[in-house]
Structure 1
Amino acid sequence: MKLIKGAATTALLLYLSALLGLALFQRSLIYNPGSAIVSPAQAGLALTQTLRLSSKDGQELIAWFEPPRDGRPLILYFHGKGGILADRQERFRLLTGSGYGLLALSYRGYGGSTGAPTEEGLLLDAEAAYAEAVRRGFAGPRLVIMGESLGTGVATIMASRHEAAALVLDAPFLSALDVAEGRYPIFPVNIVMKDQFRSDLAIGSVHMPVLMMHGEADTVIPIDSARRLFALAREPKEFIDAPEGKHLVLLQPGVYPRFAAFIDAATKR
């Protein structure tokens, strides 16, 4: 009996220690910022310029900007959890090469931007980027809000607050909370998680065309999480299922033409 009680006590202590570690270091699991400062030119984006923005709480932010051509809209782009803007150079070159404008934000704590990332902070940063887009004359039908992975949470919340021509989500989740609960099912994640990115609570307030794309082989964010978010979205909406796609599928064969057709229809080109 003493042996059983001892084993149970040890197991409980291990569980509580793991839970404490999860609670204390949760943001290091959610965010993986890169610190390198790379210019657009170094990333092969010769026509893209670097902007310096200020958030409402005083953080200094970097953003990349290139105006659109041929009447296409500006894409306000929110990146995922890791790296820096230059890590997205291939998709940025594809977008700008097609004539779309780009305003891609480097969140606080990511390459060139001050501060440390939190959900509240990222949303303040996103507001600064949105305000810059509007200041430059891109609002309503001239603006598309787009996010990838973690950035889909930022993009969805922003689209629920502001007008735009469309919302585009590459590898979205129902919420960051939903992903964490699937990853750590034995812990009360809903109680300890600070940054939950509740796209599920915001998507119903999005009143614009919505495009979601996801890979069936995505092991980072299960496609089922995206499908459940899609079910909550208002019409008109479209879901691109990439059968062999992994995490992030804009560059997968056959996806980009459907993306471009959706954007052109939403902006009535």
Structure 2
Amino acid sequence: MRQHSLTFFSFSILISVFLIGCSSMLYQPSPQIFFPPEKLGYNPEKIRLKMKDGVSVNVWIFRPKSSPPKASILQFHGNGENMSSHYVSLVWLVEKGYELITWDYRGYGESEGEPDKLDIHNDSLEILEFAKNRASKNKIPWIVYGQSLGGAISIRALGDMKDKEGLLLVVGDGTFASYSGVAKSIADRLFFFPIGYLVWAFFPNGLSPQETVSELPPIRLFLVHGTNDKVVSFPNGMELFEKAKDPKIFWEIKGAGHMDWLGLGRSEGAKNFLRYLDSLVTANPISQ
């Protein structure tokens, strides 16, 4: 009996340590400037937006040479580093006539505060309003592009955004349906049965995109996932797609890893995506 109690206690400790580890892995910010845009030939407008609680977040706006832009793309980046490493994955679209807005969650880069799920959710609502109002002023459509954790954050926040006027498309790249689901997939890779199911049962799951993804229509949802994604496994993306409603589209990128399919705009997938964006913008003009 005592041996069983010790085993259960040790097992409980292992689960607790893993849950704490997963929670801390959710946000991995860095203050480092990884790729200064000026060194890559870009000169974005850099602004600070003050949130309702007084915390200011850092925003970069990349404008194309063409005026007005075809559309404005709002990027929600992944969980690691900060926007100075993530903007490079989408900045090639600026050369194709699109405006790119990227921002750092609180606690990332030069944004103030500490990362917190609810605070970042509330900040996201304010950033979405900023992007919508900017696009409306410029009389262009706007697009939300969420990457990995950023896909989960943005899709869930859009569920609480009442007025999405002008929003043309929501992209989820290498993202997932629930926090507990992605934690389970990590546990399944690292540990033995049934730890994954225990993690799924106990991992904090609030503000997951599965709560509101079905409420996006009539706005289009575009999900894309690499079949060889070792960070957010492919079934996580499929689960989110299954919970969504039409209009929706899913691109399965065979052999691709975690958000590497665009190839900085040089891959065939990137060219196909650009054609899709251009056709969507052309078919859905904003009334002048």
TM-score scaled by length of structure 2: 0.82
Alpha-carbon separation, structure 2, partners of 1:153 and 1:106? 15
1, 7, 22: which one aligns with 2:3: 7
- Cα deviation for residue 83 of structure 1 reads 0.7
Q: What fraction of aligned residue pairs are identical, expressed as a percent? A: 23
Tell me the residue number matched to 1:154. 153
Tell me the residue number matched to 1:189. 199
Tell me the residue number matched to 2:213. 203
Q: Which string of whole-angstrom CA distances, capped at 9 and with x for unpartnered residues, describes residues 100-137 of structure 1?
A: 11111100110001111122111122122222223424
The amino acid across from 2:50 in the alignment is S
For residues 218-237 of structure 1, what are the structure 2 equivalents within 5 Å?
218-237=229-248
Q: Which string of whole-angstrom CA distances, capped at 9 and with x for unpartnered residues, describes residues 171-223 of structure 1?
A: 02122221112233526335543354421221100021111111000011111
**Structure 2 residue ranges without an equivalent (≥5):** 188-193, 284-288
Q: Which string of whole-angstrom CA distances, capped at 9 and with x for unpartnered residues, describes residues 62-94 of structure 1?
A: 011123535411001100110111212432331
Alpha-carbon separation, structure 2, partners of 1:176 and 1:188? 13
3-state SS of paired residue (2:90): helix
Alpha-carbon separation, structure 2, partners of 1:73 and 1:255? 20
CA distance 1:194–1:54, shift in 2 (3 Å)? farther
RMSD of aligned alpha carbons: 2.4
**Contact (CA 8 Å) 1:53, 1:128: kept in 2 or not?**
no
**Contact (CA 8 Å) 1:118, 1:195: kept in 2 or not?**
no
Alpha-carbon separation, structure 1, partners of 2:56 and 2:34? 16
Alpha-carbon separation, structure 1, partners of 2:262 and 2:178? 24
**Contact (CA 8 Å) 1:180, 1:189: kept in 2 or not?**
yes
The amino acid across from 2:277 in the alignment is I
Alpha-carbon separation, structure 2, partners of 1:15 and 1:57? 41
- The reply to whether residue 34 of structure 1 matches residue 30 of structure 2 is yes
**Contact (CA 8 Å) 2:180, 2:201: kept in 1 or not?**
no
For residues 90-105 of structure 1, what are the structure 2 equivalents within 5 Å?
90-105=88-103
Stretch deviating more after TM superposition (93-102 or 147-156) = 93-102
**Contact (CA 8 Å) 2:31, 2:109: kept in 1 or not?**
yes
The amino acid across from 1:251 in the alignment is L
Alpha-carbon separation, structure 2, partners of 1:26 and 1:43? 35
**Structure 1 residue ranges without an equivalent (≥5):** none
Tell me the residue number matched to 2:172. 169
For residues 1-269 of structure 1, what are the structure 2 equivalents within 5 Å?
5-37=1-33, 40-42=36-38, 44=40, 46-68=42-64, 69=66, 71-138=69-136, 142-160=141-159, 161=161, 162-163=163-164, 164-184=167-187, 186=195, 188-190=198-200, 192-194=202-204, 196-207=206-217, 208-252=219-263, 253-268=267-282
3-state SS of paired residue (1:14): helix
Alpha-carbon separation, structure 1, partners of 2:158 and 2:278? 18
3-state SS of paired residue (1:188): helix
Stretch deviating more after TM superposition (45-54 or 137-146) = 137-146
Stretch deviating more after TM superposition (22-31 or 226-235) = 22-31
Q: Which string of whole-angstrom CA distances, capped at 9 and with x for unpartnered residues, describes residues 34-78 of structure 1?
A: 122468534525231211011222211001112353541100110
